[in-house]
Structure 1
Amino acid sequence: MAERAVISSDPLYLSALASLGASVPASLKTLVTHNSIAVLPFVNMSGEPGQDHFTDGLTEDIITDLSNVPGFFVIARNSTFAYKGKPTDVREIARDLGVKYILEGSARRSDKRLRINVQLINGSEGGNHIWAERFDREIADIFQVQDEVTQRVVTAISGKLADKNIVARSRPSNLEAYDLCVRSRGKWDISRSTTIEACADLERAIQIDPNYCEAHSNLAVSLLHGWLIWGRPQIPGRAKALVHAQRAVEIEPGDSHARAILAYVQLYERNWDEAKLQLDAAVRLNPNDAHAVALTGELQFYLGNPQAALAACAEALRLNPRPPGGYFWTLGMAQISSGQYEEAVASLRREETYGTGSREALIAALALASRISEAQEEARLFLAANPNWRFGDLAANSPFRSASIGQPFVDGWRLAGLPD
């Protein structure tokens, strides 16, 4: 296993986590590893804004391929995409993200051709260019190009031929199915309507290519969020989510993303042991999978192990220092469970998550921190959007392994005056 930046294990790291944003605090990094890299969003050179999804998908797939290389430390997609469309100083980015190398590039797609320019830069040692290359191919060769870019980067960094170090991933058999899947990525976290769009696109992708692993995984999480977050009917969405998550793992047992999504679905089915089994496998297969590590924190919280949840959150934030709001939501809930109420308020009031469903947890954190008037104001805002909410929703929607694990939240909600 690769050396990793060491995360402080003492309680001070919690306050450091609360200051994450523009950069990773130096107190959280004692070591920049040799085989560490961040891939910046490739620039769309086609002149068509509608091709952004293709260029972004290309970047994401190269990140995934590199993250599967044994011994490499790879920053997650959310954190590198924070630099999209902004002036870049690779030395500053390398310092902020705690990596040695930066990969950047551009792509131009036409009906039949694909041109990709890439360059590898040593960001931590003056910004020197290590390697650069242009790939001019048929569009149908996109997956081969992704593999070649990964191999060249690994070879340049490790000084060894990379062929034997690359973990092969299953690829779709049809470019239209790939486009549909790429277009759907992340839509399940935006709104109810975009989640419905994602489901339609992914169902079409699966019709075209029934053995497309990622399409099944992404459809599973879209269906799950449909009923869990966006109020769509649980029947038949809930059962279909499990079917597609299981199918993805059947197609590609070595895919960490598929394993993590199956774990996520199993958690909300209250199959805790199966969820843990799948998450352990996901992290073992790909220690760089920040979402799998963050989901481990969520699972440990619902199992009643807040310290294990906090440790997982710390590692997830190291891999993904500019994460989506769900990371801070999980962190805040674990902090509440461990009695660190002020830290929880700081986490749950972060811009990334404040005002989403995490307000439910923020109310409890404020009340337990004896900030009753603030808790009551947040409760007013929460009830305005959720007028029928009751304590019983906790048992209905949250996969706590036992009622006692959720008791601190109930106590906080009572203090804030939320209805039984």
Structure 2
Amino acid sequence: MERRLSAILSADVVGFSRLMGLDEVGTLTSLKAHRRELIDCKIAEHHGRIVKVTGDGMLVEFPSVVNAVACSAEIQLAMPGRNGDVPQDRRIEFRVGINLGDVIVDGEDIFGDGVNVAARLEGIAPPGGIAISASVRDHVGDRLGLAFEDMGERELKNIDHPVRVFRVLLDGARMASEGPSLEASSLPSKPSIAVLPFTNMSGDPDQDYFADGLVEDLITSLSKVAGLFVIAKNSTFTYKGKTVDMRRIAKELGVRYVLEGSVRKAANRLRINGQLVEVPSATHVWADKFEGAVEDMFDLQDRLTESIVGAIEPSLRRAEIERARRKRPDSLNAYDLYLRALPHAHANTPADTEKALRLLDEALRLDPNNAAAHGYAAWGHEQRFFRGGFHPEDRAAALEHAHMALSIGANDAQALSIGAFVHANITRDYEGAIGVLDRALKLNSNSALAFGFSALANAHSERHEKAIEHAMKALRLSPFDPLNYHPYCALALAYLFTDRFADAAAYSTLAIQTNPNFSVSHA
């Protein structure tokens, strides 16, 4: 029997029998819609595997504990918005239990104490809530910016030992879904964001300048992200000190996303909380908290800007991908097709590469000047060349698209990064690639993607210290990025070439856990 350590998520619908008694067809239709439009997408996004579905229940396996908790939190935070127009007694709510434990693998199924504990945790979770074991709590730490309540040791049915249980506190991050929804036609086709003035919670007017300076830095840094429409400070600051419904702000400014936050001073410490909301769906895309010493205020402001922008960019990308998935196939434009290609490009398996290339070809047919699409097309053809038989036509196509990405995307950090790395992989000119990647990082010093590709290029050029530095920067900027197998691979190479074999093996394992289907990591 095969055994492995896994994060196990068990979920079911609260009061499913009662809901079915009220309206069988309506309940099943709603449940299928939630799965199709939200749950299955989130599970795939966080690299989970649906083991089984049993009526109202679901068992999911994750290679990462952090991914399991992040996935369940995002689902639970999205559900109030999806239930907004549904009568209270007909709303579908989920209970979720998560455990880290040893499982027995039998074909596609898993069994064992680890699974049983997850199922029992789900049974004691509150409606709309998440209950986790102590091992899960320890592994998550502070990585997700979530708070936890210690519920103490519990005796769980048919489990022969007490289990210490924690509840994930989601209430502070929930957003009411009231008022009419925004019309999609009032929003730009590409992501648009307004950064609102951060609230000064300390009661000290002298802290206003710090909060305002932080917001100004955020707006400036976000403006450097290619393809992102950012509302200017002069417009967003008209809302300072006012209590205005977020939906109204989004409608008046014509944006899909709103970033808001607060600053609080306590003794000699500053704490900053931030949250990014997709307003039409009332979904929290990202939330986190940061703190530091008052003495290092301006250094803290720089670090906060870097961390927030680094986290927001991939969070926006994930939200935009999910939005494109929800659109009907007959209403897709070039940007939607490009977004739909990204998860397949990031998965980086031969089958996913084929799917990505088909979508990118169609996107480029509609918009031949999309530099980022050329970059990802170059990457797809490069992967097909190296992993699909070394066909000359794939090599030529990879170089052609890389050239287009580099020429059209001269001011696009993403296009430059991908184009440079693909060109280097095929021509072995890593020195030239490093120069382009350095230029990309000057354009956007918070691009985790650029730092990840730079780490790989420097590792291949035997610039081990710079490879390690840039890999760590990529991981710090975007700790839950689906492309983190890139910096992990770079770290593995750098440590391998400097005879630190244990570290190389550890980072190779992390690369495999981040993307088990990327065969290069296994080598």
Q: Give the TM-score range, shorter chain.
A: 0.5 to 0.7
Bigger relative CO (Cα 8 Å, ≥ 6 apart): 1
Name the CA shift for 1:170/1:295 in 2 (closer, same or farther; >3 Å). Answer: closer
Distance 1:337 1:225 in 2: 24
Contact 2:190 2:228 in 1 (8 A): no
Structure with the larger strand share? 2
Relative to 1, partners in 2 of residues 1:242 and 1:331: Cα closer, same or farther, differing over 3 Å? same
Q: 1:341–1:171: structure 2 CA closer, same or farther, 3 Å change rule?
A: closer
| Whole-angstrom distance in 2 between the partners of 1:46 and 1:307 | 50
Which one-letter code corresponds to 1:96 in the other structure? D
Q: CA deviation at 1:317?
A: 2.0
Q: Which residue matches 1:314?
A: 472
Residues 273 and 82 of structure 1, relative CA distance in 2, 3 Å threshold = farther
3-state SS in 1 of match to 2:73 = coil
RMSD: 4.5
Q: 2:448 aligns with which of 290, 294, 297?
A: 290
1:207 alignment partner in structure 2:
365
Instruction: Provide Cα deviations, 1:112-140, integer angstroms capped at 9, x if missing partner.
Output: xxxxxxxxxxxxxx985699898834434
Q: Equivalents in 2 of 1:287, 1:266: separation in Å?
A: 22
Partners of 2:186 and 2:392 lie apart in 1 by 40
Residue 357 of structure 1 corresponds to which residue in structure 2? 520
Deviation at 1:321, TM superposition (A): 2.7
Q: Does the 8 Å contact 1:260/1:278 carry over to 2? A: yes
Compared CA separation, residues 192 and 311, structure 1 to 2 (3 A)? same
State the partner residue of 1:302. 460
The alignment covers a number of residue pairs equal to 273
Partner of 1:184: 341
Superposed CA offset, 1:258-286 (max 9, x none):
11101211221222232012211222222
Unpaired stretches in structure 2, ≥5 consecutive residues: 1-5, 8-29, 46-63, 78-136, 148-169, 201-210, 230-330
In 2, the alpha carbon distance for the partners of 1:95 and 1:295 equals: 28
> Would the alpha carbon gap of residues 156 and 201 (structure 1) be closer, same or farther in structure 2, given more than 3 Å must change?
farther
| Aligned residue among 191, 195, 205 for 1:152 | 195
Query: Structure 2 CA distance, aligned partners of 1:175 and 1:202?
Result: 12
SS in 2 for 1:151: strand
**Which of 338, 356, 363 is the equivalent residue of 1:198?**
356
Does the C-alpha gap of structure 1 residues 87 and 49 become closer, same or farther in structure 2, counting only changes over 3 Å?
closer
- In structure 2, the partner of 1:328 is 488
Deviation at 1:166, TM superposition (A): 4.4
Instruction: Tell me the distance in 1 between the aligned counterparts of 2:350 and 2:185.
Output: 33
CA contact (8 A) 2:371 2:409 kept: yes
Q: Name the CA distance, whole Å, in 2 between partners of 1:133 and 1:331.
A: 44
Deviations 1:239-265 (A, max 9, x none): 222222232343332221111101211
Residues 217 and 327 of structure 1: CA distance in aligned 2, closer, same or farther (over 3 Å): same
Counterparts of residues 17-36 of structure 1 (less than 5 Å): none
How far is 1:163 from its partner? 6.3
Between the aligned partners of 2:458 and 2:223, the Cα distance in structure 1 is 28
Question: 1:244 and 2:401 equivalent?
Answer: yes
Question: Who wins on radius of gyration, i.e. which is larger?
Answer: 2
Which whole-Å deviations, capped at 9, do the CAs of 1:183-241 have from their partners, x for residues lacking one? Answer: 1113133421221121111111111112223222221111111112x324432122222
- Measured against aligned partners, the alpha-carbon deviations of 1:89-124 in whole angstroms (never above 9, x if no partner) come to 99x8996238699xxxxxxxxxxxxxxxxxxxxxxx
Within the candidate set 61, 68, 73, 1:87 is matched to 73
* Structural mapping, 1:19-418, within 5 Å: 47=33, 51=37, 83=69, 85-87=71-73, 96-97=142-143, 136-143=181-188, 146-147=191-192, 150-152=193-195, 158-159=211-212, 160=215, 166-167=222-223, 169-170=226-227, 175-188=332-345, 189-228=347-386, 230-268=387-425, 269-323=427-481, 324-350=484-510, 351-352=512-513, 356-360=519-523
Q: Deviations over 1:55-101 (max 9, x none)?
A: 88xx9xxxxxxxxxxxxxxxxxx9997655313699x8996238699
Q: Which amino acid aligns with 1:197?
A: K
Deviations 1:25-84 (A, max 9, x none): xxxxxxxxxxxxxxxxxxx9993655559988xx9xxxxxxxxxxxxxxxxxx9997655
Task: Give me the identity figure in percent.
Answer: 21
Letter in 2 for 1:97: R
Judge conservation of contact 1:213–1:251 (CA < 8 Å) in 2.
Answer: yes
> Within 5 Å, which residues of 2 pair with 1:2-21?
none
What's the TM-score once normalised by structure 1's chain length?
A: 0.53
Distance in 1 separating the partners of 2:462 and 2:175: 48
Using a 3 Å threshold, how does the CA distance of structure 1 residues 286 and 83 change in structure 2: closer, same or farther?
farther
Q: Distance in 2 between matches of 1:266 and 1:196?
A: 20
* Per-residue deviation, 1:343: 1.6
